[in-house]
Amino acid sequence: MRRVVGTTLVMLLALAGLLLVAEPAYADQVCQVTDLETGVCVVWVEVPGTPGTPGEEGDDVPEQTGGGEGCVWDGTALGITQPPPGPVPCSTDAGYWSNGLNCYIQLATPVPPAGDPAWQGHEPGDGAVYHCYQPQTGILVYLWSQDPPPDSGTTATPGEVARIAIEDMELKAINIGLAPEPGPGSVGLVGMPVWMWAASPDDHTFGPITASASAGGITITATARVHKVTWDMGDGTQVVCRNAGTPYRAEYGKQESPSCGHVYVTSSSREQDGKFSVTASSDWVVEWTGAGQSGVIRLNGLRRSVAIAVGEAQVLVQ
């Protein structure tokens, strides 16, 4: 049964800002072009994916999920804890759902006569009077508004709001640590261990990093972290490291890296400029929560490259 409440309750219901984000419900966001100086992606593309695609064998990363439901009941701002926040149908016979007002919106019928308190001092024709109905509480409010209250079924989903938070994180490719060091005069040897690692990893290059964003009456908190770095060694080999790697120190000598390494079996003499191009691509997993929902977004392909010369040891014969 609906309870009709006077217009004074309307002051408890505040409209939230809106941000329209056009985006597929399920997609892998893949970096196509990275600024090699800063490691920041300058061109992201959406690659259609399959909901719930599992990670690789041995990968304990949560599966990618969809964007969640954009219409959400959340009575906490009104001091209402039951029912708890969660998705609701975007439309019913009571009208369309507004996240900002936490109710279903419908033009009031019959239209209240001039002078009725529902007009809040306005005249018929100046805006309109709406029904604002909360099935969670059974409350029906008469609401005057100059413009139709926003329809949350046409605005951002939680997953889309999470991507706004991701933008604020300013994620970057790792700074490459490599031994032997890239640069003039530095040459590695065929058959000798190469060490790879994320140099001076921080929140923006390896995580974890957390940010929040709000849009369309929804607030989402997202936490991002690197779950693997794929090293393309330039010789046709890819090495997948599920950690930041171990920085090399001189006392390690000719030992192999205990966490992320490679051994070249050919020299780079036939490569362009006589060097192998080594590219580190970091893949992130982002877990978001809010609006009574949670989900996972996977971001792939933030990359940075360096060049390394690899020669063959010369044997001196007397």
Residue 317 has pLDDT above 60, yes or no: no
| Structure-model confidence comparison of residues 185 and 108, the more confident one | 108
Specify whether 148 is located in the same domain as 285: no
Last residue of a domain, one of 122, 154, 186: 154
Specify whether 41 is located in the same domain as 183: yes
Cα–Cα dist 261/259, whole Å = 7
Mapped onto helix, strand or coil, the DSSP state of residue 82 is coil
Last residue of a domain, one of 111, 127, 154: 154
Instruction: For residue 227, give its domain range.
Output: 37-54+156-311
Alpha carbon 74 to chain centroid, angstroms:
22
For residue range 61-76, what is the model confidence (pLDDT) as tens digits? 778 888 899 999 998 8
Q: What is the pTM of this model?
A: 0.79
Between strands 293-311 and 187-189, the pairing is: parallel
Last residue of a domain, one of 154, 182, 202: 154
The total number of structural domains in the chain stands at 2
For residue range 236-285, what is the model confidence (pLDDT) as tens digits? 999 999 999 999 999 999 999 999 999 999 998 888 888 999 999 999 99
Amino acid in the structure at residue 42: V
Q: Is 260 exposed, middle or buried (0-12, 13-18, 19+ CB in 10 A)?
A: buried
Specify whether 269 is located in the same domain as 193: yes
pLDDT for res 12? 34
Specify whether 145 is located in the same domain as 273: no
Handedness of CA 267, 272, 278, 283 (dihedral sign): negative
Q: Which position has the token pair 């998705």?
A: 87
pLDDT for res 286? 96
Specify whether 172 is located in the same domain as 200: yes
Mean pLDDT of 41-69: 66
Specify whether 299 is located in the same domain as 203: yes
Mean pLDDT of 165-186: 87
Specify whether 225 is located in the same domain as 257: yes
| Domain harbouring 295, CATH code | 2.60.40.10
Q: Which region, left, alpha or beta, applies to residue 158 given φ > 0 means left and ψ of -120 to 50 means alpha?
A: alpha
Of 51-55, 65-69, 176-180, 285-289, least confident by mean pLDDT is 51-55
